[in-house]
Amino acid sequence: MPMPPAELYHLVAFLIALTIVWWSTPIINEIGRKRGLVDQPKNDAEKERKMHKRPMVRLGGVSIFAGTIIALVIVWSLGGFGWLPPQKEWEIWGVTLGGVAFFLIGLADDLYNLSPGVRLILQTVAASAAWGVGVRIDFLSIPFGSLIQLSDLISLPLTVIWLVGMANAINWIDGLDGLAAGGCGISAVVMLVLTLFMNQPAAALIAAALAGAALGFLRYNFNPAQIFMGDGGAYFMGFTLAGVGVIGLVKVAAVTTVAVTAVLLPLLVLAVPILDMSAVIISRLSQGKSPFTGDKSHLHHRLMNAGISHRLTVLFIYALTLWVGSLALGFSNIPSGWGFAIGATFLLGYVGWQAWRTSRKVRE
């Protein structure tokens, strides 16, 4: 019996994850409400920073996690991962099990409110374990130059910073209804296209399942949201995107014709949360605050403070995320990649113009 095309498995993973999230999220929401597992501002400072007006269940990440993992297990049982060399198989397990660990850390925080220090320690241990089984950054690129292979003494901390940093960056940007879910869904679709083009179908399967789960969650999380993903969902998606970027793009840099570019692609795809987190940390440190102190210095807060509506702020950041992702498609030499980039540029320009016009009306 002939094997189905490899791309069919990616579609199956996407659809299974999407369907499971659509089906399970209302159930998780009902359970959360009955047990009082809700997020609500507890004091005036939090009320100023948080945007929701009523108690919200923050366990939507359970649905995202379940949809992604169940989709991958089903595709694996169908033979979708095919035969993998031992090292590549360990990399896939590293991203998958690392995602499980980061989800559990976030879920524990959602339920028991862990301190930032405890979360950081646990995340560092989980990321180090993922590095140990092959999810590691082995190369750095020199602009307009070649690749530099890294020793383990540099690779380990650099990989841990990347994996832990991205998990927290997604969590930090999860401040408006649908923002993190939609942004991660867009980034996961771009990662899917890139990893397929780089001939990394196993990594692409993870991206496909994550994309289906994230975009499926938008049905209940877009403004006005019915449920939040919580730290569990944000940590899981952030780590998984970062992990796919390592094993699907950075790890293949040495054997591709766009080697230097491949190392930089994950940075470009995830540029929005990376730059947002970097700007927030710099802002807080310059004011003598702890980087973990919540405030209203994120990009979405600044846009809303300028008078832009909740939905338009989210749509603008979606367009920005799609634009940087389209640049990654262009730089990777994907056929029609620059055509997509031109289209995304026009879309960003239009949404940006709408945001500017709205802000101007408010100021007047």
Is 333 annotated in some ligand binding site?
no
Please tell me which residue, 119 or 306, carries the higher pLDDT value: 119
Instruction: Tell whether the model's pLDDT for residue 125 goes beyond 80.
Output: yes
pLDDT digits (tens, 9 = 90+) for 308-337: 999 999 999 999 999 999 999 998 888 899
Q: What is the mean pLDDT of residues 20-36?
A: 95
Best CA proximity match to 244, nearest among 182, 202, 277: 202
Q: What is the mean pLDDT of the chain?
A: 88
pLDDT digits (tens, 9 = 90+) for 163-191: 999 999 999 999 899 999 999 999 999 99
The proportion of the chain whose per-residue pLDDT surpasses 90, expressed as a percent, equals: 66
H or E, element range at 325: helix 310-331
pLDDT digits (tens, 9 = 90+) for 81-114: 876 777 788 889 999 999 999 999 999 999 999 9
Instruction: Tell whether the model's pLDDT for residue 3 goes beyond 50.
Output: no
Q: Is 230 left (phi over 0), alpha (psi -120 to 50) or beta?
A: left
**Backbone φ and ψ of 242, nearest 5°:** -65, -40
Is 231 annotated in some ligand binding site?
yes
Best CA proximity match to 105, nearest among 52, 160, 65, 157: 65
Q: What was the pLDDT predicted at 53? A: 65
Q: Where are the alpha helices (DSSP H) in 113-139?
A: 116-132
pTM of the model: 0.92
